[in-house]
Amino acid sequence: MTRCSITRLMIASCLAALPARVVCQQPTLVPPAEVRPHSPVKSRAPSEILTQFSASLQQLASKVSPAVVQIEVTGFGTAEGHDRQGSNTSVMVRQRAIGAGVIVDPDGYVMTNAHVVAGAEQIRIVMPAVPTNLFDISSIGKAQVLNAKLIGTQKDCDLALLKVEAANLPTLPFELEHSPQLGELVFAVGSPEGLQNSVTMGVVSSALRQPDPDNPMVYLQTDAPINPGNSGGPLVDVTGAIVGLNTFILSSSGGSQGLGFAIPAPIVNFVYQSLRKSGHVRHIEIGAFAQTITPTMADGLGLAQNWGVVLADVEPDGAAFAAGLRPGDVVLNIDGHRMLGLPGFAVTLYQHPIDQEVKIDVLRGTQSLSFSVAPILARDRMDELAGFANPIISRIGSLGILGVDFDSEVRSLLPDARFDTGVVVVGLDRESNFVDTGLQTGDIIHSLNRMPIASVEQLRSAAAQLKPEDSVVLHIEREGQFKYLAFEME
């Protein structure tokens, strides 16, 4: 018997003890005098329980699957080849990747992983008609394929937001009120190996896992099988709500080994809201570095507790230091949330509103202290570039971008740039009905249809001469590498 079969039988046998999930009828009891010798008390057969459980899973799959899409990405990349002498060499080839995504708004907003769409020149979303049963052939060939635009990415969290031109699409909600519990049933939906609308079942193995101790990013760990192609698909609970977004596995073979990881729903929702609003993720920083307390650390530092989080560094010119926090402070609570370890510390600060003070309670020796920290906005390189945008001067509506001339200030944010001329894309214009050019924030435009571009005014003039259905090829520089972006004007 397979592990999955054993798991399902164990779950089925325990259903009677879970009235909140499955309501089981109690056997009818009769007075002892009316019970004949050796008459068995009527009870529900195991097959009935399994049937009810199976029906519940089918209903869940039918509810969730229509909102889970397959994402097809095409682009160019390097691959090993051979020259005429038979020597190994690198060649440019068209590459195709498949992942998954989940519709989070009926107007066509789709969340997925950043690595799914990395390097994409074209992104398409496949929304198939979901068959009602094994013999339903009416849906074959009815898959709806839509071109998608990349709204923005957050590479630190490995999240991306896509947009398709559609309305009244099926969606799944985020579960934000209740945290997943250890052992809770969850289901991973996606397109493993390109097999669309695959559903697997498992439990929450850990509600807050930090795989890399040097990276504050935390995940839900699950044993629900996750394989290549599941990336970007949702991890849902028994109600069909999103508790996480599947992102990676730990495996020596490349296949699922019960070590799957999903980005928690609160983080996915936070990034979604930020990307949809501005194309960037804005979050705070307080200028403090924390570590998880170990018994050895507590003993050596003379801490009052041997668990939790301690501030190892507080930047002298940072917000935390200005508020009164110091190295060696044991963090008890942030915004009323008890700090049991570094993952909770990182997540709480990451999701904190940018316009509110952070309430931090600490233990300094044996003294309890409370501080209000006025945070600053954490800015990455793309955020810094966005600061150069002027909605009037920078806007190039026909291309749907905000651009600035390459100058010394911009160069400091683009250290990999190979030339000091061109137009730097500092933002995408969300208010224009623009063609999907494939441009991203940070790209440097060097030419349009072989015409050298040295300024925003020159690019705007060249773009204004383009007519609908004209072919356009931009020669751009992205992270120190040149590439062509080809598209047609609409």
**Residue 136 token pair:** 């339903």
Q: Contact, 94 vs 75, CB < 8 A?
A: yes
Report the sign of the C-alpha dihedral through residues 232, 129, 126, 266, in that order. negative
What's the gap between Cα 403 and its chain centre? 28
Question: Coil, helix or strand for 332?
Answer: strand
Quote the DSSP letter at residue 362. Answer: E
DSSP states of 172-208 as a string?
--B--SS---TT-EEEEEE-GGG--SEEEEEEEEEEE
Q: Closest by alpha carbon to 351, among 265, 278, 243, 260?
A: 265
Q: What residues act catalytically?
A: 115, 158, 231
User: What is the rounded distance in angstroms from the CA atom of residue 327 to the CA atom of residue 460?
Assistant: 52
Beta-bridge mates of residue 482? 477
The span from the CA of 128 to the CA of 454, in Å, is 45
List of residues 6+ apart from 287 with CB closer than 8 A:
314, 315, 317, 318, 319, 320, 321, 376
Spatial separation of the C-alpha atoms in residues 462 and 455, rounded to whole Å? 11
CA–CA separation, 313 and 343 (whole Å) = 17
Of 382, 376, 381, 402, the residue nearest 390 (C-alpha): 402
Taking the C-alpha atoms of residue 446 and residue 443, their distance in angstroms, rounded to an integer, is 10
